[in-house]
Amino acid sequence: MLIAVIPGDGIGPEIMSASLEVLSSIGFFPEYVYLSVGLDKWKRENIAISEDDLDVLKRADAILKAPITTPPSMRNSFSSVTLTIRKELELYANIRPLQSFPISPFKDINIVIIRENTEGLYSGVETFNGKTATTKRIITKKASERIVNFAFQYALNNWRKKITCVHKANIMKMTCGLFKEVFLEVAEKYPEINSDELLVDNCAFQMVSNPENLDVLLTTNMFGDILSDLGAALIGSLGLLGSINIGEKSILFEPVHGTAPDIVGKNIANPTGMIIASTYMLDFFGVKKGEKIRKTINKLFGNRLDLTKDLGGKATTKDFVRTLINLMDN
Ligand code: IPM
Ligand code: MG
C-alpha cells in the first residue's frame, strides 16, 4: 500500500506530522512517499507541482494532503496546487462531513456536504483585458450527472435519507439550471432517497437556523467551498473538519481549512481536521481503528482535555496528540 504524503505549506507540516504520529500509534505502517509541492517548491524551482509529482500522485493508492498556499498576488504565475491536483486526478467529488463534537456551539449537527470538485466558478478560465475581468462558470451535463449519481449512491451506502440540491437557478438559469435539471432527472431513479432543493442563500440561513432538517447537501464547486466553512463554524472551528476527494482512479484526504500563516511554527495549530481526514483514509482501507480515533477525539473534547487555542484552550499541537494517543491506549 503506497500513500503519497503532501506536508504542504504554513501549518501543514505540523499537522501532518501530528497525523502520522497518530497513525503509527495504532500500528498503521504503509509505505509513504513524501512530495514537497506548493509554495516552497515554487520558490526553489519556479514551479509549484510538476508532471512527475502528478505521476507519483496518480500511482499512489491514496493521498494524504495538508493545505497548500495560493498567494493571490502571484495569480498569473501560480495557480492553486490544490485545484490542479483535483482537476488533473479528476477528483470530482468532495465529501465534507459536518458532525458536532461535545465542544461544538451547535449540537446534533449531522450534515454531509457533497461538492462538485472540478468545474463551476473554479474552472480557472479567466480573462482580463485591462478594463473587464471575467471568470467563466462552466457546468457540464457530464460532470453534473457524475456528481449527482455519486451523491445518490453515497446516500444509499451511508444510510442517508435525503439529498438537498443547493443552487441559484432563479438567477443563473443556464449553469445552475442545468445542474438542477440533472438532479431532478437522476433523483427519479432513486425513489428510496428523498430529494428537495434550496437556493444557496436560503441554504446558508437554514444551516444556522434549522440544521436538524438538513441531511446531504449537494452543490456546485464554489457554493460547496463557502458552505463548508459556514458548516465548520457550526461545529466550532475550521480546524475540525476533514474531507475526502474522490475520483474514478484516485482518492485524496485533506482537512478543509487553509495554511493559517499567522500561527505557523508556534506548535498551536489544531490538528483535528488533518487527523479526521486520515481516519477517513483508514476507513477506505478497511482499517477499523479510524472509528476508534474519532471516538477518542470526541472523548477528549467531552472532557475538555487539551483544547487548542482556536477552541479557547492553551494546549499545543503536541499536547493534543499526546493526550489523544494516551486516551486511546486506555
Ligand atoms: C477548500 C479550499 C480550496 C478550495 C482552496 C485552497 C483552493 O478553500 O478546499 O475548501 O477553494 O476548494
Ligand atoms: Mg475552502
The residues near 261 (Cβ < 8 Å, ≥ 6 apart) are 10, 69
Q: What pLDDT shows up at residue 330? A: 72
User: In the predicted model, is pLDDT for residue 42 greater than 90?
Assistant: no
Instruction: Say how many residues make up the chain.
Output: 330
User: In the predicted model, is pLDDT for residue 233 greater than 70?
Assistant: yes
Pair 271, 15: CB distance under 8 Å: yes
At 71, the pLDDT band (50, 70, 90 cuts) reads low
Give 286-318 pLDDT, tens digit per residue: 999 999 999 999 999 999 999 999 999 999 999
Pair 257, 17: CB distance under 8 Å: no
At 68, the pLDDT band (50, 70, 90 cuts) reads very high
Pocket of ligand 1 contains residue 256 by CB under 6 Å: yes
User: In the predicted model, is pLDDT for residue 143 greater than 70?
Assistant: yes
Of the ligands numbered here, which is closest to the C-alpha atom of 226?
2
Pocket of ligand 1 contains residue 119 by CB under 6 Å: no
Return the exposure string of 208-233: e unless at least 16 CB atoms fall within 10 Å of the residue's CB, then b: eeebeebbbbbbbbbbbbebbeebbe
User: In the predicted model, is pLDDT for residue 65 greater than 60?
Assistant: yes
Of the candidate ranges 64-68, 121-125, 169-173, 194-198, the one whose mean pLDDT is the lowest? 121-125
User: In the predicted model, is pLDDT for residue 197 greater than 80?
Assistant: yes
- pLDDT average, residue stretch 87-98: 97
The larger pLDDT score, comparing residue 267 to residue 47, is at: 267
Q: How far is the CA of 212 from the centre of ligand 2 (A)?
A: 23
Pocket of ligand 1 contains residue 166 by CB under 6 Å: no
The residues near 142 (Cβ < 8 Å, ≥ 6 apart) are none
Atom of ligand 1 nearest to the CA of 229: 10
What is the best residue among 225, 229, 243 to mutate for testing ligand 1's pocket, by most ligand atoms within 8 Å of CB?
225
All cell numbers assigned to 323: 493526550
- pLDDT average, residue stretch 38-51: 88
Atom of ligand 1 nearest to the CA of 243: 9
User: In the predicted model, is pLDDT for residue 50 greater than 70?
Assistant: yes
* Pairing label, strands 126-128, 133-135: antiparallel
- pLDDT average, residue stretch 248-273: 97
Mean pLDDT across the chain, nearest whole number?
95
Pocket of ligand 1 contains residue 116 by CB under 6 Å: no
Of the ligands numbered here, which is closest to the C-alpha atom of 66?
1
Q: How far is the CA of 189 from the centre of ligand 2 (A)?
A: 31
At 78, the pLDDT band (50, 70, 90 cuts) reads low
At 57, the pLDDT band (50, 70, 90 cuts) reads very high
Cα maximum dimension of the chain: 64
User: In the predicted model, is pLDDT for residue 108 greater than 80?
Assistant: yes
User: In the predicted model, is pLDDT for residue 247 greater than 60?
Assistant: yes
Pocket of ligand 1 contains residue 277 by CB under 6 Å: no
At 79, the pLDDT band (50, 70, 90 cuts) reads confident
Q: How far is the CA of 309 from the centre of ligand 1 (A)?
A: 23
Smallest CA-to-CA distance from 96 within 301, 249, 255 is with: 255
Q: What pLDDT shows up at residue 322? A: 97
Which residues sit opposite 315 in a β-bridge?
308
Q: What pLDDT shows up at residue 77? A: 57
Atom of ligand 1 nearest to the CA of 224: 10
Atom of ligand 1 nearest to the CA of 228: 10
Q: What pLDDT shows up at residue 235? A: 97
- pLDDT average, residue stretch 143-170: 98
Q: What pLDDT shows up at residue 242? A: 98
Pocket of ligand 1 contains residue 225 by CB under 6 Å: yes
Atom of ligand 1 nearest to the CA of 221: 12
Burial of 190 from C-beta contacts in 10 A (0-12 / 13-18 / 19+): middle
Going by alpha carbons, the residue nearest to atom 8 of ligand 1 is 225
Q: What pLDDT shows up at residue 105? A: 96
Q: What pLDDT shows up at residue 290? A: 97
Pocket of ligand 1 contains residue 230 by CB under 6 Å: no
Pocket of ligand 1 contains residue 82 by CB under 6 Å: yes
Residues involved in catalysis = 122, 168, 201, 225, 229
- Host H or E run for residue 96: strand 93-99
Pair 254, 66: CB distance under 8 Å: yes
Q: What pLDDT shows up at residue 73? A: 59
Task: Quote helix, strand, coil % in the chain, to nearest 5.
Answer: 45, 20, 35
